[in-house]
Every structure is written in C-alpha cells, then in structure tokens.
Amino acid sequence: TIWTLLLAGTLAMGGCKETPSFSDSAIIPLPQELANGSGSFDLSPEMGIQLVGSGEKLTKIGNYLASKLRPATGFDLPVSNESGEIVLELTGIGSSEAYEIEVTGDEVKISADGEAGLFYGVQTLLQLLPQEIAHSAVQSVQWTIPGGSIKDEPSFSYRGSMLDVARHFISLEDVKYYIDQMAAYKLNYLHLHLTDDQGWRIEIKSWPRLTEVGGSTEVGGGEGGFYTQEEYKEIVAYAAERFITVVPEVDMPGHTNAVLASYGDLNPGINLPDGDLTTVTKTPEREVQVNVRQASELYTGIEVGWSTFDSDLELTYAFVDSVVREISEITPGPYFHIGGDESHVTEKDDYIYFVERVQDIVSKYGKTSIGWDEVATAKLLPGNIAQYWSREDENAKLAKAQGNQILMSPNTRVYLDMQYDSTSRIGLHWAGYVDLDAAYSWEPTELIEGFTAADILGVEAPLWTETVTNRADIDYLAFPRLSAIAEVAWTKKERRSWDSYAKRVPVHGKRWDIQGVGFYRSPKVTW
C-alpha cells in the first residue's frame, strides 16, 4: 500500500539511523586495502588505550591519540600497557610505514612493524570516527565505527610539502599548524624554503647580518622575521613527533639578494682595468654602479632570476660552508636543499662549478643534496635528488641518466600557489590554473617518458608565498589541494579515482570547517 511505501521511504531517509558500512569511510589518502567486517565498535566513556610493545615513541603515539580523542568525546581514555579497547601494537622497530587496522564489535586494533606506520594507523582511525571528533569541545555524538579491516602502506617514501617562509615570513605557530594538517594526510617531509631575494629566515651565528639585515623585510615591505636556531629546533622536534622530517633549503646561487644586501663582500664584482672592482647592485627596477663590492638594496618585489653569488670568489664558499654547517648541525634529517633554480644571471660554467662545489660541502656535513631540477645540468653526486618543477623533462632526464632520482613537483599539478581559476582571490597563474581535479588526476610515474617508479623518490607540493600573507591565505591555497596530492603520493594508481575522491573530500570539508580551516570550496565537488 501507499503507507508501507511511505514508511519504507522514511526509514531509508534516516528515520532509523543505520550505521554506514566501513568501506564508505571517507579516508584520505585512500588505504590500499579495505574490507567490510561485521558488527560495529562504539567508543564509550569507560574505555582505554592499550599499548602493546615498548619504547618512548609508542607511549607518545598513545598519548597523541588520546589527546585527539579526549576533547570531543569528553572521555578519560587512559593510556596503559594493561588494558584497553583501542589497542596500539608495535611489532618491531623498523622504518616501515605500513600498518593494519581491525575493527570488531569489541575492539579497534592498530598494528604496525614501525612507529611511523602505527602513527599513520592512528591518523586513519581518527578519520574512521564521525567528523565531530575534530571539535575541541565535548559533542553528544555516538562514536561508532563500522566493523572492517585495513591493510595499508604508501606508494612513495617521500610525501612532502614546501612552505616558502622567505617571500612572506610564516610564524612558528602557523608552521606548526601546517605540520598538524600535513600529519593528518600522512605527509612525511616538510621542506622549508628559508632564503630568497626578499628575505633570510634562519639565524646563522657566524654571519649575523643575514637575519639582522636580510631578515628585516619581505614582499610588500612588511617587517619580515626569522627563526632563531632554537625556534628552528622546535619546528624540527614538533615535526619529528608527527613523523615529519624537515628539509631546510638555502636557495643559491640565484635568489640570493637578501645575502648580498647583508654582506657587500659577497656581491659579485667585475674587475676593472685599474684593478678596482665595480659592483652592479641591481634590482629589476634599479641599477647602480659602484667601484667596490657593496651591499645591494633589500628587495620587496616579486621578480625572479636577477641575483647571483660570485662563483669565482672564495669567500662565497666560506660563507656556504658556515651556513651548511650551522643548519646541518640542527637538522637530523638526511637532506639539505641547495636551491639552484632560476639562476638566470649566472654564467652556465659558473653555475655548474658552483653547484658541484656546494654539493661537496653538503656531503662533507653528512647530508644529501636536493636541488631544483636545473642542478641536473651539473654532475650530481650519487644519491642526490633533482626536484622536477619546471616541466623541463630534459633536466629530469639528465638526472636519470646520471643514476639519480627525481622528486615530483610538476607546477601544473602541485603548485599550491597557482590559482584555482580566474576568480581566485590570491595566487599566481604563470603555470596555468590548477583546480582540485588537476591536482588529483595525475600519476607521478607517467609524466616523463621513460620514467618508472624506481626513478622517483616521491611527490612534493610547494606553497610559494608571494601572495600569501596569513593563515587564511595558506588555508585557501593549500586546502583542499594538499589532500588530493597526498592521495596521489600515498595510494597506488589502480586504487585512485576522481569520482571516489570527490565523494570523500566533502567529509573532510566538514572537518576543516570544525577546525576553522578556511579551505577553498572548489566547484568541482559538492560540499
């Protein structure tokens, strides 16, 4: 009858609250294997978190999970080795990033062979819960997770994002906030672009004018800023607790005006017949000739490619040596990024000589160099990485021919500073518009002819900050695109589809709303 039909309709529309199935969970990045189980788990006030295994990191992961669950649930959720319905089991001490989750009516168990894997399992668990879990105040919600299981591990070992803290300085607090967001998407490398024409952002004790002078302004003429070495260590430690490794970048030999404005002795000179030096202190707007090496002017515009170090000057290498030494001493991660992009006013021979000497310095301090892809025109040391950005496949091929891997940052896909479309309120568009579907729908191994997974270290999404001045700007450009790129880096190609992502990302939109993340509501999905 009409009445039974109506009744059935009401039930289907939610008149009777039915638990969604496990496989409908909106997890990003999508796990490699996910299967529905039976029953469902209800997180309740008397429950706890049990640690199986040992080590300080395991305890930290347990406490991290508790700190994420307590505010919205209002439950105590004690962390102990004795008992608990949420079980974190560490079966080894390896560097594996793999984990498994099993949800039954009685418990949720996350197991992993390595601490990073366990941490990623925790991130997945947080996404399995209703999105209200992201609130910082108690919610009256039934904390139900449908039964099921997950087996997961990343496709690429390097999954990163870059913050350009040079064009506009980004506060310590905002960097930590960004790290938290990266962790939620299982990203594991934070590249800090610490220096550029417009600013020097890290204290170097042996060259103090770098921050006194070079750190004193930014694009648009604001007051700039820098991290003391103590603050940098704080970033490194905060990131490490979230299994994120910091990659510091000192961009050279181009993009160095902030140095040349701080130390005139480093400013390139041209030998005159009478033995004097002439220095062209120039910005794109202004050129001044003087007859000694003299500091250039601070720069607050956004032109690129007009400054350079002097690769014939020994002082240049003494300078680079001190900077690499001081930063390497406070950087536990394996990589040091030497920049190398857009050195348009450096002679080609000088550029190659410079890059090769700087690679040696980096290696002397125990680090592996990463450079923007132009560095592959030089002889790369074994293991060094070229970061593919310019869409100059030639440079990537030069790296591969030398037996070196590349890091994938194709500007038409992952440049977070590119506008979404012509209406975007900030951002640039020299590489075109990058809406959410463009950021999502690509495959790292298929971009350059002849490349396979073995040639690719991973994927990194840079956020250049010429037009970014505050957290709202970061939010608008990074989200939702960062979540799409994280899935490209984590989930294998066969598992990925735009339609599936487009269904899951709106749930994350709700979470971002709860967290106050001012993401861009791309019209490509229904929020």
Is residue 389 close enough to count as binding ligand TNX by CB under 6 A?
Answer: yes
Task: Pick the closest to residue 126 from 61, 56, 76, 35 (CA basis).
Answer: 61
In angstroms, the CA 389 to CA 314 distance is 30
Does 341 engage in binding with ligand TNX (CB under 6 A)?
Answer: yes
Binding flag, residue 473, ligand TNX (CB under 6 A): no
Report in angstroms how near the CB of residue 416 gets to ligand TNX at its nearest.
Answer: 9
Residues in the chain: 527
Quote the least distance from Cβ 199 to ligand TNX, whole Å: 12
The one catalytic residue among 107, 132, 297, 342? 342
d(C-alpha 362, C-alpha 27), whole Å:
39
Which residues have C-beta within 8 Å of that of residue 5, sequence separation ≥ 6?
none
Q: Is-contact 464 164, C-beta < 8 A?
A: yes
Nearer to ligand TNX, 73 or 390 (CB): 390
With respect to ligand TNX, which residue has the nearer C-beta, 148 or 462? 462
Residue 249 neighbours by CB under 8 Å, 6+ apart: 162, 191, 192, 193, 194, 195, 337, 338, 339, 370
d(CA 329, CA 324): 8
Report the residue number, 196 or 321, with the smaller CB distance to ligand TNX. Answer: 196
Nearer to ligand TNX, 92 or 432 (CB): 432
# binding residues, ligand TNX (CB under 6 A): 10
Token representation of residue 220: 């648009």
Residue placing its CB nearer to ligand TNX in the complex, 256 or 316: 256
Q: Is 85 in the site for ligand TNX (CB under 6 A)?
A: no
What count of other Cβ atoms lies within 10 Å of the Cβ of residue 56? 8
Site string for ligand TNX, 12-51 (x = CB under 6 A): ----------------------------------------
Q: Which residues of 297-326 are buried (b: 16+ CB within 10 A; e: fewer)?
A: ebbbeeebebbbbbbebeebbebbbebbeb
Query: Cβ closer to ligand TNX: 337 or 397?
Result: 337
How far apart are CB 252 and ligand TNX at their closest, in Å? 12
- Least distance CB 17 / ligand TNX (angstroms): 48
Q: Per-residue contact track with ligand TNX, 254 to 293, x per CB under 6 A?
A: ----------------------------------------
SS3 label, residue 119: helix
Residue 417 interacts with ligand TNX (CB under 6 A): yes or no: yes
H helix or E strand, kind and range, residue 372: strand 368-372
Closest contact distance (angstroms) between CB of 467 and ligand TNX is: 9
Tell me if 415 sits within 8 A of 372, measured CB to CB: no
428 contacts ligand TNX (rule: CB under 6 A): yes
Paired sense of beta strands 406-408 and 456-463, if any: parallel
Active site residue 342: yes
Residue 304 sits in the site that holds ligand TNX (CB under 6 A): yes
Site for ligand TNX in 230-259 (CB under 6 A): none
Min. distance of Cβ 415 from ligand TNX in angstroms? 6
Separation CA 353–CA 30 (nearest Å): 44
Query: Looking at the annotation, which residues are catalytic?
Result: 342
Chain positions contacting ligand TNX, by CB under 6 A: 304, 341-342, 372, 389, 415, 417, 428, 464, 466
